Amino acid sequence: MAERLVTFEQDGVIGTVTLRRPEKFNALDIPMLRALEAALDKAELAEGVRVVLISGEGKGFCAGGDVEAWAQLSAADFQVQWVRYGHRVFDRLARLRQPTIAVLSGHALGGGLELAAACDFRVAETQIKLGFPETSIGVVPGWSGTQRAVRRFGAQTVRRMAIGGEVLLANEALALGVVDRVVETGKALGEAKAWGEKIAERGPLATEAAKLMIGIAEGEEDAAATEALASGFIALTDDLKAGVGAFKARHKPGFSRS
């Protein structure tokens, strides 16, 4: 059942993760979050996938967190099971090794916009709406809407949505840098695939390294990213081969700084 809630499909160099709960406009509950995390693991490990698209089945990209799923939780469970687990899954998306594109063929509200913000790029259809409506029901954005979204879209834009209650149309979002491209209704998936194929023509290791370095500068990535970059460099050197060979042969290595 969980595998049907969020699916992963590969078409050449493009991988597509699709939320499949259209009757709820792809609203997220715990089973959906678990399925999303599993699909992202598949995407990262899929051989040959260089760009990952995140899309939603039906009329909505993602309506955010399912109110019915969290409204009955205790304060402690809301904090740990809902907010912290949601952060873990969204961080997993933000730190995926491949570049990611959110395919906004339907509205992205609340947690849905936070999900889109965790992607590297966003393609929106002209009819969609974006916003953070949480304060209208007495809660706050809890899956990085006041953190990652501020870093990526700017504090004032997030203030307008989260505090002022503004809902942005696609072209308004484009002008504010919330989305990167706007296309006609029904064209977002095709545009995202074409863009993804252009990205995939670039050096995959260089692209992944650039994503990591930008993440470090942005504050998205932490010290682990620096160690990953350094370790990847070291893994290509003759010194590593000499050191490992010497360890196996039980003699002193002859390093050459090459």
Catalytic residue annotation: 114, 134
Write the DSSP string, 16-43.
EEEE--GGGTT-B-HHHHHHHHHHHHHH
Cα dihedral 198/201/202/208 (nearest 10):
90
Say if CB 182 and CB 170 are below 8 A apart. Answer: yes
What is the residue whose two structure tokens read 């390294």? 209
Amino acid at 124: A
The pair phi, psi for residue 189, each rounded to 5°, is -65, -45
Say if CB 180 and CB 121 are below 8 A apart. Answer: yes
As given in the structure block, the two tokens for residue 132 are 């953070």
What is the residue whose two structure tokens read 């969204």? 90
Range list of β-strands (E), the chain: 6-11, 14-19, 51-56, 60-62, 100-104, 107-109, 121-125, 129-131, 168-169, 181-183
Instruction: For residue 83, give the nearest of 145, 22, 25 by alpha carbon.
Output: 145
- In terms of C-beta distances under 8 Å and separation of at least 24 residues, what long-range contacts does 204-213 make, across chains too? 204/50, 207/50, 207/99, 208/97, 208/98, 211/97, 211/99, 211/120
